[in-house]
Amino acid sequence: MDTFGLLAAGFAAALQWQNLIYAFIGVTLGTAVGVLPGIGPALTVALLLPVTYRLDPAGSLIMFAGIYYGGMYGGSTTSILLNTPGESASIVTALEGNKMARKGRGGPALATAAIGSFVAGLIATLAMAFVAPWLVRIAISFGPADYFALMVLAFVTVSAAFGDSALRGVTALFIGLGLGVIGIDLQTGQARLAFGIPDLLDGIEVTTLAVALFAIGETLVVAAARGSLDDEVVAVKGSVWMTLEDWKRSWPAWLRGTLIGFPIGAMPAGGAEIGTFFSYAAERRLTKHPEEFGNGAIEGVAGPEAANNASAAGTLMPLLTLGLPTTATAAIMLAGFQQFGLQPGPLLFTNNAPLVWALIASLLVANFMLLVLNLPLIGLWVRLLTVPKPWLYAGILLFATLGTLGANGAMSGNLFGIRFSFELMMLLGFGILGFVLRRFGYPIAPVVIGLILGPLSEQQLRRALAISQGDPLVLIQSPLAISLYVIAAAAVLIPLWFRLRGKGEVFSQLAADED
Amino acid sequence: MTTGSNPQRRPDGAAFVIALILAGIAVVIFWQTSIMRLPVHQARVGPQVFPYAIAAGLLLLAIGTAVSAWRGSFPARPPENYGPALWIVGGLLGQILLVSSLGFSLASGVLVACTARAFGKGPMWFTFLCGAVFAFIVWFIFARGLQLSLPAGPLERLIP
């Protein structure tokens, strides 16, 4: 069947009422967590994994994707009205968006963000639908050595290429890789770094680590930084609708943002925030109203918002076709696939074609739902911003512990006769780790990606070397692997060159931070 | 952020501690991996290669971190205010140790009360009550509605 046929079949599945409900729950939750400061899509999907354990795989995955897309929409609301980005991909939106809101143009800013997200989501998801099968055809011929090279490239781009310090990025990655080694080695059945603790034999759960780093670590950081003034919510005044002038200035920015965001998301080049920075820079250069930049230029909201949604869609492409997560949210979605016994990669498209296409079609459906949820109902979401901090963070911690207990509630620890959940103790330990990492400026995403991608890359490496009977030259024998290593080297060296020439600010702005 | 223009950059003590911890982790990985007992028939690239590589990497990163700490090139940190963070850690510890005996709702009440206290909301008996009631509702939805196994205590057992 060609792509059109597969997509049509996907729509037939996506429009079944159960899947519509899953998508609706996903986008609603996603928008809510995008709006709420302190929680992002990565944390939400991680918390929902244990709950969806018994649910339908297709429905759950549709819900997770809805959360991912919804988070990208919701984040813009916080940026524009509060000047505190709900997630890292909305940092740039705050630059112009909050200025617009302060000038009483909050409505059009929210509208251009929502419509831009819709346009970008639509184009990028369709692009993914048509490019993915083509990529799958190539990926099916990849050998273990090629996969290993691909993973090395992903490691490099998520840890070293962007961010203000390659040292701290790589350190975060190696902490994740080290955690990934813990547990029974699948090929020889030997326990590694388990220290005789039975709970560690199964390895560290990605969800426990992610929930700890994002929920507990974040709460500790916010609590320790208290004393700063509370943020002020700018009320939405005047019309929500954009004027003809706004439309004229927005649509080229949306298209350019999409064009910039999609390849960056698709190319394993780090998180959605990177595209937003490039898009902002492009709009600033091309605008006919340079005097408005810094004072609320609508292009500065339209472009980056489109870029961030396009790259969210782009990120799903390496995840689905190669099994390669390049953001924290994608890493947790990979854990979600594994929970249902599915391994993303080229084989997913042949073995589980109905599921993949239902998921892709659902993304398009979710995009329509998000437009409806975000334009007329914007007032409802704004009210979420007024949840008092003590209750918000108490709730986040409550659900973090609930999710962890739900995933593994065994009371296997024992301290002076008191039985406790070892998994919860790990949650606390990793939470403190997250606090320390953030306090010292370490990025979080490479830890999560290292944990999930580390064991996969080790598997590919050992498979490659087993085929070659231990000859390491096999790793650099295919032209594809060589070019991937060259790109990886360039991704490290080019930013380094810029940094040495004193232009480091650009790249420190591109810190791959959260989602 | 004053990075780059700050003239008085001193060695960063806390960052040295991080370097030491990284080196310590590397040593533990080396040691634990070296005492693994390997089967006689063994693939050339066995289960030890990856841990050794990670330990070596961590050791290099520890050196890099120490250099970075010496130059004081870590980003500026906001002033320390550990009190509230300690309340949250205490609340989590309380919940972890109490949940098997008191059940999810009461233990989570302790967590909520301590977290609210960390953010300056009181009194604690009130926040404890709110937390316990909310946690009980959540427990009911997830344990009964979604069949999630959550620890039950005296309060939860009241519902048949």
Give pLDDT tens digits for A43-102: 888 888 877 777 888 888 899 888 888 888 887 887 788 766 656 667 788 888 888 888
Q: How confident is the model at residue B94 (pLDDT cuts 50, 70, 90)?
A: very high
- Nearest CA-CA distance, residue B97 and chain A, Å: 6
Which range is most confident: A258-262, A316-320, B57-61? B57-61
Q: Which residues pair with A418 in a beta bridge?
A: A415
Over residues B103-107, mean pLDDT: 90
Nearest-by-Cβ selection for A51 from B36, B57, B146? B146
**Is B63 within the bounds of a domain?**
yes
**Is B105 within the bounds of a domain?**
yes
Residues B152 and B94 in one domain: yes
Over residues A97-122, mean pLDDT: 87
Residue B155 contacts A where some CB pair is shorter than 8 Å: no
Residue boundaries of the structural domains of chain A: 3-509
Over residues A381-400, mean pLDDT: 84
Residue B154 contacts A where some CB pair is shorter than 8 Å: no
Residues B55 and B22 in one domain: yes
* Closest by Cα among A177, A421, A158 to A264: A158
- The Cα B62–Cα B69 span in angstroms is 10
> SS3 for A515?
coil
Higher pLDDT, B74 or A112: A112
The domain containing residue B20 runs over which residues? 13-71
ipTM above 0.85, yes or no: yes
Residues B88 and B153 in one domain: yes
Name which of B16, B50, B126 to mutate to probe chain A: the one with the most chain A Cβ atoms within 10 A of its Cβ: B50
- The Cα A121–Cα A118 span in angstroms is 5
User: Are the Cβ atoms of B96 and A225 closer than 8 angstroms?
Assistant: no
Q: How confident is the model at residue A327 (pLDDT cuts 50, 70, 90)?
A: confident
User: Going by C-beta distance under 8 Å and a sequence separation of 6 or more, which residues neighbour residue B151?
Assistant: A405, A409, A411, A421, B99, B100, B103, B104, B107
Residues B98 and B36 in one domain: no
The pTM (predicted TM-score) of the whole model is 0.86
**Is B112 within the bounds of a domain?**
yes
pLDDT above 60: residue A505? no
Q: How confident is the model at residue A229 (pLDDT cuts 50, 70, 90)?
A: very low
Residues B90 and B141 in one domain: yes
Residue A415 contacts B where some CB pair is shorter than 8 Å: yes
pLDDT above 60: residue A511? no
Higher pLDDT, A174 or A288: A174
Say which range, A3-17, A337-351, A498-512, B122-136, has the weakest mean pLDDT. A498-512
User: Are the Cβ atoms of B150 and A405 closer than 8 angstroms?
Assistant: yes
Higher pLDDT, A90 or A466: A466
**Is B43 within the bounds of a domain?**
yes
pLDDT of residue A277: 82
Residues B96 and B53 in one domain: no
pLDDT above 80: residue A224? yes
Task: For residue A147, report the phi and psi dihedrals to the nearest 5 degrees.
Answer: -60, -40
Q: What type of residue sits at position A31?
A: T
Residues B122 and B141 in one domain: yes
Element (H, E) at A414: strand A413-415
Over residues A422-433, mean pLDDT: 93
**Is B32 within the bounds of a domain?**
yes
pLDDT of residue B2: 39
**Is B1 within the bounds of a domain?**
no
Residues B39 and B103 in one domain: no
- Structural domain tally of chain B? 2
Per DSSP, A374 falls in state H
Q: Nearest residue on chain A to B58, judged by CA atoms? A: A174
**Is B77 within the bounds of a domain?**
no
Higher pLDDT, A242 or A256: A256
What confidence tens digit (pLDDT) does each residue in A361-377 have?
A: 999 999 999 988 888 77
Mean pLDDT of chain A, nearest integer: 83
